[in-house]
Amino acid sequence: MHNITRVGIAGTGLIGKGIAIEVEKQAELKLSKVLTRRNINTMNDYPFSETLTNSVDAFIESCDLIIECSGDVIYGTEVIDKAIKASIPVITMNAELQVTTGSYFAKRGFITEAEGDQPGCLASLHENVIQMGFKPLVYGNIKGFLKLDPNIEDMKYFSKKNGVRIDMTTSFTDGTKVQVEQALVANGLGAGIAVDGLLAPSSDDLNKTGEELAEEAKRLGYPISEFVLAPKAPPGVFITAEHDSRQKDALRYFKMGEGPYYTILQNYHLCHLEVVKTIKRVISGGGVLLNNGENPRVSVAAIAKRKLQPGEEIEKGIGSFQVRGEAVEMTTNKDHVPIGILVNAVMKREVAEEEMITFDDVELPESLALTAWLEIAGRAPINI
């Protein structure tokens, strides 16, 4: 008789519901509890209504493993804290949380990002290419469009069309999401970034752009995490890497080009459909696929989209029309406020358009996420 692993899911949006459907199909998994903040009595459309709970404690008590995909940094941090304290392994599909508080948890227990979103897919591709003898220089995310300051009418339209929350639609469009993802990739795979805000070249030839980015990585002396704007390319990920020169003729024969840089493309990422792979990996002792590491080098700063006035409230930075996120080196931006903790914040000073928000500019409410970030950034006593 196989052991049945009781799986809990925090989040009932598009991703959370999709994961639940796939988990429920697996013989060795049991969908145990689904944590939601919504009124359960109004959730008649949820396929597994008997699993729903509003109680974090009931959720934690009934699970052997949890998947956090609430899309909320502050709330997700509190849920994960309880799971880690109960020695329950945590899988996330919440890159925003990983780059904000993931390192706090990486020191305290088991936390990994799932395959499915671009960071997890890049981590999986990384394992694959390393085993084939490649040495990665570029971890690339492919983005089809970018508009740094989209208008609310467009965002409402696409939000409704795609069935995705307006804040998520906005963070995909203004680049915050991809900056977050590539910060996580940099921290988790031991890469860096070429510049604050990333290079983000436009591309109609991934091989050529991959070569150019690889040259930049060689010049810098370390692998880089990047994204390309390539409307005609598939919605996937790529790694540009070097190989042993003795394999050059073979790689040419394998249609990989002349070298010395080779671009390996995965032409899809299927979000929640891929999460079961990570669940099975964790259960079988496969270890962390990707997390933000214990000592991150890259964070995601909040950049003002327009002039912000004293007294102005920022309800939620990620996906707002007030700020967007940019990947930045932590050592040279010590005072930046990570966009993930910019929630129910009040501006104390005027901040100009395109300026980075610092801790002196804003008043932030107390939260575990804030405490965790201050520890990660070395701004508070470490208490493990």
The answer to whether 36 and 53 are in contact (CB under 8 A) is yes
Q: What is the mean pLDDT of residues 198-204?
A: 97
Using a cut of 0.85, tell me whether the model's pTM lies above it. Answer: yes
Phi, psi of 172 (to 5 degrees): -70, -40
Q: What is the pLDDT of residues 140-156, one digit of tens each?
A: 999 999 999 999 999 99
Alpha-carbon distance 80 to 224, whole Å? Answer: 29
The pLDDT mean for the chain works out to 96
Q: What is the pLDDT of residues 115-144, one digit of tens each?
A: 999 999 999 999 999 999 999 999 999 999
Report whether CATH 3.40.50.720 matches the domain 5-116+273-283. yes
Q: Residue 163: which pLDDT band, with cuts at 50, 70 and 90? A: confident
pLDDT number for residue 382:
37
Q: What is the pLDDT of residues 268-304, one digit of tens each?
A: 999 999 999 999 999 999 999 999 999 999 999 999 9
* Topology of the domain comprising 298-376: Type Iii Antifreeze Protein Isoform Hplc 12 (3.90.1210)
pLDDT number for residue 379:
77
Would the pLDDT of 380 be above 90?
no
Would the pLDDT of 383 be above 60?
no
Would the pLDDT of 308 be above 90?
yes
Would the pLDDT of 381 be above 60?
no
State the burial class of residue 152 (Cβ atoms within 10 Å of its Cβ: 0-12, 13-18, 19+): exposed
Q: Residue 223: which pLDDT band, with cuts at 50, 70 and 90? A: very high
- Across the chain, where does the E strand assignment appear? 5-10, 29-35, 52-53, 65-68, 90-92, 111-113, 135-143, 224-229, 237-242, 262-266, 298-304, 313-316, 323-329, 343-347, 362-363
pLDDT number for residue 348:
98
Alpha-carbon distance 218 to 248, whole Å? Answer: 19
Tokens representing 308 are 């912000």
pLDDT number for residue 201:
98
Those residues with Cβ within 8 angstroms of residue 369's Cβ, 6 or more apart along the chain or in another chain: 73, 74, 77, 100, 101, 340, 341, 343
Would the pLDDT of 2 be above 90?
no
Point out the least confidently predicted range of 164-168, 290-294, 346-350.
164-168
What are the sequence ranges of the domains in the chain?
5-116+273-283, 118-269, 298-376
Distances (CA, A) of 52 to 13, 20, 35, 43, 60: 13, 11, 6, 9, 13
Beta bridge partners of 189: none
Counted residue by residue, the chain has a size of: 384
Q: Residue 371: which pLDDT band, with cuts at 50, 70 and 90? A: very high
In terms of Cα–Cα distance, which of 297, 172, 332 is closest to 223? 297
Would the pLDDT of 44 be above 50?
yes
Q: What is the mean pLDDT of residues 10-19?
A: 96
pLDDT number for residue 227:
98
Phi, psi of 316 (to 5 degrees): -155, 120
Q: Residue 250: which pLDDT band, with cuts at 50, 70 and 90? A: very high
Radius of gyration of the chain (CA): 21
The answer to whether 259 and 248 are in contact (CB under 8 A) is yes
Fold match between domain 5-116+273-283 and domain 298-376: no
Q: Residue 384: which pLDDT band, with cuts at 50, 70 and 90? A: very low
